[in-house]
């Protein structure tokens, strides 16, 4: 099987490449010029230099491919640099879907996100629009909607490492966000952290599962954890006692209103909105693929000590 990957040099992408290579495949990976050093297992991949805005690069990548994985996603926009949710999470995947149809590719695997909705934040809307476009296409498709993904970041951005650095190791108390004026709900919104290796295994499983196409797969870990429990687990993993303090989210949103256009400000208004919505889903789809979800516990978070 020939598999093309768009988004193979980031956090999840590095594990996708590892998993496909370990399965005996030689993935074709699009890499932006100058980013070749970010590709793991490069000697076992076919590298196609190119950019998502260049249709010729996409066509070259898809030559001879039986399946394509689209794994590009961002958590924050930087419009001044042309980095927007609409460009990378809606327009670009639509362009690749069209090229895949024209090039005779049979399968399309799309990385989406749990909780995407048509009338949500720009992040949620762009992901939802790409999902809908793929589902209306003539391709055999699989859409993956994971909760927050954790695992050894390998020098890249990752959920637990970011929380550890910006909140748990900070000398300030960990913020337990709450909406309104009642602090009793502080830090009680919930997430289902899923390990990055389990996500990569799900992609491989579905590449080989010809009878399970045209389905959305929700990828949640075994544990449904409150924000408070997640912060406590991360603190325990680095042997740190962490003071927690209720914080009305409105105060942070007001600050973000003025400052989230600056890259150094740690959080945007939309990120706060989605965080307070929670992000939980069942591990049932992983288990149906014979994947036993790894737990979000200090043993699995040992990489935070390195």
CATH topology agreement for domains 3-150+194-219 and 159-191+223-280+291-305: no
Q: How many CB atoms lie within 10 A of CB 29?
A: 27
C-beta of residue 188 within 8 angstroms of C-beta of residue 227: yes
Strand pairing of 244-248 and 194-195? unpaired
Q: Give dist(CA 275, CA 190) in Å, integer.
A: 9
Q: How high is the pLDDT of residue 261?
A: 82
Q: Give dist(CA 28, CA 16) in Å, integer.
A: 12
Q: How high is the pLDDT of residue 302?
A: 96
Residues in the chain, overall count: 306
- For the record, the structure tokens of 292 come out as 């036993």
Q: How high is the pLDDT of residue 120?
A: 94
Task: For domain 3-150+194-219, give the fold.
Answer: Rossmann fold (3.40.50)
Q: How high is the pLDDT of residue 7?
A: 97
Q: 61: alpha, beta or left, given left = phi > 0 and alpha = psi -120 to 50?
A: alpha
Where do the structural domains in the chain lie, given as residue ranges?
3-150+194-219, 159-191+223-280+291-305
Q: How high is the pLDDT of residue 263?
A: 78
> What's the predicted TM-score (pTM) here?
0.96
Q: How high is the pLDDT of residue 8?
A: 97
Task: For domain 159-191+223-280+291-305, give the fold.
Answer: UDP-galactose 4-epimerase; domain 1 (3.90.25)
Q: Give dist(CA 305, CA 135) in Å, integer.
A: 42
Q: Which of 34, 29, 35 is nearest to 8 (CA)?
A: 29
Q: Which residues of the chain have pLDDT under 70?
A: none
Q: How high is the pLDDT of residue 246?
A: 97
Find residue 4's DSSP bridge partners: 28, 68
Q: How high is the pLDDT of residue 257?
A: 84
Q: How high is the pLDDT of residue 276?
A: 93
């Amino acid at each position: 099987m020939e598999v093309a990957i768009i988004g193979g040099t980031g956090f999840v992408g590095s594990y996708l490449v590892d998993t496909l290579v370990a399965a005996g495949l030689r993935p074709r990976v699009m890499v932006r010029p100058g980013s070749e050093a970010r590709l793991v297992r490069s000697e076992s991949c076919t590298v196609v230099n190119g950019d998502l805005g260049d249709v010729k690069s996409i066509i070259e990548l898809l030559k001879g491919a039986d399946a394509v994985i689209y794994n590009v996603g961002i958590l924050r926009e930087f419009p001044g640099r042309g980095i927007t949710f609409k460009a990378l999470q809606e327009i670009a995947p639509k362009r690749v879907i069209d090229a895949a149809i024209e090039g005779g590719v049979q399968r399309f695997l799309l990385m989406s996100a749990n909780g995407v909705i048509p009338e949500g934040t720009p992040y949620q809307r762009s992901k939802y629009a790409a999902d809908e476009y793929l589902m209306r296409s003539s391709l055999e498709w699989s859409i993956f909607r994971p909760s927050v993904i954790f695992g050894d970041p390998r020098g890249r951005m990752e959920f637990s490492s970011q929380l550890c650095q910006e909140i748990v190791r900070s000398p300030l108390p960990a913020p337990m966000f709450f909406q309104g004026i009642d602090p009793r709900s502080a830090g009680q919104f919930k997430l289902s952290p899923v390990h990055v290796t389990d996500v990569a295994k799900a992609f491989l499983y579905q590449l080989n599962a010809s009878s399970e196409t045209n389905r959305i797969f929700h990828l949640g870990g075994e544990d449904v954890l409150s924000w408070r429990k997640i912060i406590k687990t991360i603190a325990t993993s680095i042997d740190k006692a962490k003071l927690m303090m209720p914080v009305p989210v409105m105060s942070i949103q007001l600050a973000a209103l003025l400052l989230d256009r600056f890259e150094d400000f740690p959080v945007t208004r939309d990120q706060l909105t989605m965080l307070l919505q929670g992000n939980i889903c069942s591990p049932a789809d992983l288990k149906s693929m014979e994947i036993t979800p790894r737990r979000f516990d200090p043993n699995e978070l040992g990489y935070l000590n390195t």
